[in-house]
Structure 1
């Protein structure tokens, strides 16, 4: 009686849209993506030690891992970004956000939403994520939110 619910009817449809057709896959090998992210972590730490928050954010947001089979790299990149957000003073946020490129702002918005989706918001307080969201929306506009939510390349 319940067997009809277990049939995948999309397998019979020639015009079905596959997840892999929605965006270009990351051309890098998953092992290479993980190595790249681990190298970024050390570069980000040195940038933070110098007080270069914008440079650290640029490193994390540039060429962010996306797609299947790179979950560990995604988590490491997210934790690195959250450490940057936590270490930034609230008065510095507007200047840092305005210094980012449009693509970097969109990627930052994706990471903010990913951080908010974590159970208990992970290692970061809600006020930090919401403060960054507020300043990013003021600088980039609501278009940044729309682009982050409609882009299929999930970070």
Structure 2
């Protein structure tokens, strides 16, 4: 019995197939530039956190996140920076911080929360921190934030 037919990519023969590159425009910057920008943002976030400006730190790191292929280093650095901000925030301050974020930043934060939860063993991230932020973000932004984060094809 021949089962090689299961290895054929049938989408290669479909004229109407939707490619990932057609779903959104990738980051126009070069991969090295994206990494340098992520490093600069991480430094700015550390400065904001040292001043006690959690909202400024989140707005900085969530603005223009790296999207697209070939920039995994920048994506990981940005995720680590977001997790640093989340871990350094008191749980009583989370609702006020979330309320001060723009809608786009709230949606991007939700993407990073889900990315952190998707890590095997959740990496260096405390599950209670991510779930606490998820709860407060959903209370403030509503379930629309979850829907927008899940349906956006631009992965962080």
TM-score relative to the length of structure 2: 0.97
Aligned equivalents of 1:11, 1:111: Cα separation in 2: 32
Gaps of 5+ in 2: none
In the other structure, the counterpart of 1:89 is 90
In the other structure, the counterpart of 1:128 is 129
Alpha-carbon deviations, 1:71-111, whole Å to 9, x = none?
A: 01000000000010000001110010000000000000000
Aligned equivalents of 2:9, 2:131: Cα separation in 1: 40
Aligned equivalents of 1:146, 1:63: Cα separation in 2: 20
SS of 1:69's partner is coil
Aligned equivalents of 2:4, 2:55: Cα separation in 1: 55
Number of residue equivalences: 155
Alignment of 1:18-97 (within 5 A): 18-97=19-98
1:29 Cα offset (Å) = 1.1
In the other structure, the counterpart of 2:116 is 115
Pair 1:105 & 2:106 matched? yes
SS of 2:41's partner is helix
Gaps of 5+ in 1: none
Aligned equivalents of 1:38, 1:16: Cα separation in 2: 37
1:2 Cα offset (Å) = 2.2
Alignment of 1:133-148 (within 5 A): 133-148=134-149
Aligned equivalents of 1:95, 1:149: Cα separation in 2: 24
1:121 Cα offset (Å) = 1.0
TM-score relative to the length of structure 1: 0.98
Aligned equivalents of 2:121, 2:17: Cα separation in 1: 37
Moved >3 Å (runs of 4+)? none
Name whichever of 140-149 and 119-128 sits farther off. 119-128
SS of 2:65's partner is coil
Aligned equivalents of 1:144, 1:36: Cα separation in 2: 26
